[in-house]
Chains A and B, each alone.
Chain A
Amino acid sequence: MSLLSVSGLCVSLGGRPVLKGVSLDVAPGEFVGLIGPNGAGKSTLLRAALGLVRGDGRILINGNETLSIRQRARHAAYLPQERDIAWPVSVEMLVSLGRAPYGTAFSRPDAEDMKAIDRAMQRMEISAFRDRPATELSGGEKARVLIARVLAQEAPLLLADEPTAGLDPSHQIASMRVFADLASEGRAVVASMHDLGLAARWCSRLILLDRGIIIADGPPRAVLTAGRLRAIYGVEAYLGEAMGGMVIQPMDVVAADAADHEDKE
């Protein structure tokens, strides 16, 4: 059974249609990269899947259409693009927020919660600064702390909005590996991203979105073709193979008339 099933999803924001009939299924074990140019509707798709914006269409999380807010939090975790932390709380406390869906209003974290928190901090390599105020961390460290918070939620489905933005190369790769590991454990990850190289190398499946429509959906090699990159992103890219995986590097912007020509074909 799929962990996330979206069919015929249409969303309008401020009267402007952002998603125009999107359908997709995400099964356990998949690490889906959601790619597409700015304004394609990636963030809106993630937010709509969680009910954060209203839309028309069917959305099933773990086969269920009518989950309460609290039940949904146990089935799906979400890393928003916004990385604002309002108060100078400690890193450990921030990560422990991921356990919120499990306790009651006044309960303290139990042994299982503590284990989940520790696991998440180890995975993101932030145990060393667990006592520091989260607001004083660098952008990349903050991003890792926020990813750890989502991991601590230990939901079967993880939706992440540009999780690797602002990370150094080694932590970008480490984060992608964590997501891939989660998928191999039988969970599913859907991450929107702009780094096509990372997406091609680590995701098991890519969904290319443009102007609210899914253009392509499949394994990275099938989705990322030179023609699509030219037509959708307007870039000329180098596509190759190295170290047992796909390499993709955008080289230059396609001249305007050339892109038009591609569209007409």
Chain B
Amino acid sequence: MSDLARYRLVLAVLALATLILFLLSLTVGPAAIGFGDSLSALFSEKRDAIALIMREIRLPRALLGLMIGATLGLSGAVLQGWLRNPLAEPGLLGVSASASLGAVIAIYSGLSAAFALGLPLAALAGAVLAVLVVQAMAGLRGGALTIILSGVAVSAFAGAMTSLALNLSPNPFAALEIMFWMLGSLTDRSMTHVWLAAPFMLAGWAMLASLGRSLDALTLGNDAAVSMGVDVRRVQFLAVFGTAASVGAATAVAGAIGFVGLVVPHVLRPLVGARPSRLLPASALGGASMLLAADILVRIIAPGRDLKLGVLTAIVGAPFFLWLVYRTRRQLP
């Protein structure tokens, strides 16, 4: 089988898996509605309870799972390709931590209770602030290393401020709400969240997806890429702002969800011949599949206990990552 045929097969399988998991996500939940009934209710004109559950609860949840998973997979693949490092992940730029801090401030200050979109908007503001600081630190002459180090510093500071908010929390309930929010979840999100996140995510995807060819050239290092016509400043700008827009929006509506952006590109890289440009669509689909699957599992494993999505991805993701490292340790330098 030729290289290209194999790549198309991988994409087709991943797309099919994503579609199936999306439909499953629509049909799994505490309200026991049959598979056929639930899907037909989604498209019917009736305004009964089933249609309401489908449109207001399950559809936004499945859509967000799809969008956030794709975001994490895509930006993880872009950052790994750009930094030429298999350990890069979307949280590296400090965007997730700062978006979390924005959300925590919204909960702490009562902004989130005052109006519905207070929390995601505050989280988005946090993400914007983080990327501005990181980009300002790197400036015009800074490179990838400056970006990483600034991202680490921004993450640490945002983490410290989050701890401070917990520390000074006026009552245990606020602290608990903050803790639970930070674990990451897709429960009880509405279509409003979808509409809020979608423009940022689409803009971010467009920026990240345009980088395929440049990332291929970067396989041979910065100098070689420039000599092949790659504008590395543009690559840096698009990678940073594309990640900030999409991952910032993802964190704003669902909290920080770890390991998807790290593990998915890793798993899929051998299947696409390690080519960075081919990894982008594969990783986006793979991320969507993984997040949808995880969100289905939290509903099946512990219905009624509200198991948090971020907890599950970390519990499954971390040992899996260890196994991956174990398997590939001979190839690591």
Contacts and interface: CB of A to CB of B under 8 A. Distances in A.
Interface of A: 47, 50-52, 69-74, 76-80, 82, 84-90, 93-94, 97-98, 100-101, 103, 105-106, 133, 135, 146, 149, 153
B184 interface: no
B230 A69 contact: yes
Contacts of A51: 226
6 contacts: A69-B229, A70-B229, A73-B229, A86-B84, A87-B276, A106-B212
B142 to A, nearest CB: 15
A82 B3 CA distance: 28
Chain A contact surface mostly: mixed
Contacts of A76: 227
B275 A87 contact: yes
Contacts of B221: 80, 82, 84, 86
Contacts, number: 88
Nearest to A153: B228
Given A80-B227, A100-B217, 4 more contacts: A77-B227, A79-B224, A80-B221, A82-B221
A70 B217 CA distance: 13
Contacts of A80: 220-221, 223-224, 227
Contacts of B224: 78-80, 82
A87 B230 CA distance: 18
B274 interface: yes
A105 B206 CA distance: 13
Interface in B188-243: 210, 212-213, 216-221, 223-224, 226-231
A89 B223 contact: no
Contacts of A98: 228
B223 A47 contact: yes
A88 B273 CA distance: 7
A84 B224 CA distance: 11
Contacts of A85: 219-220
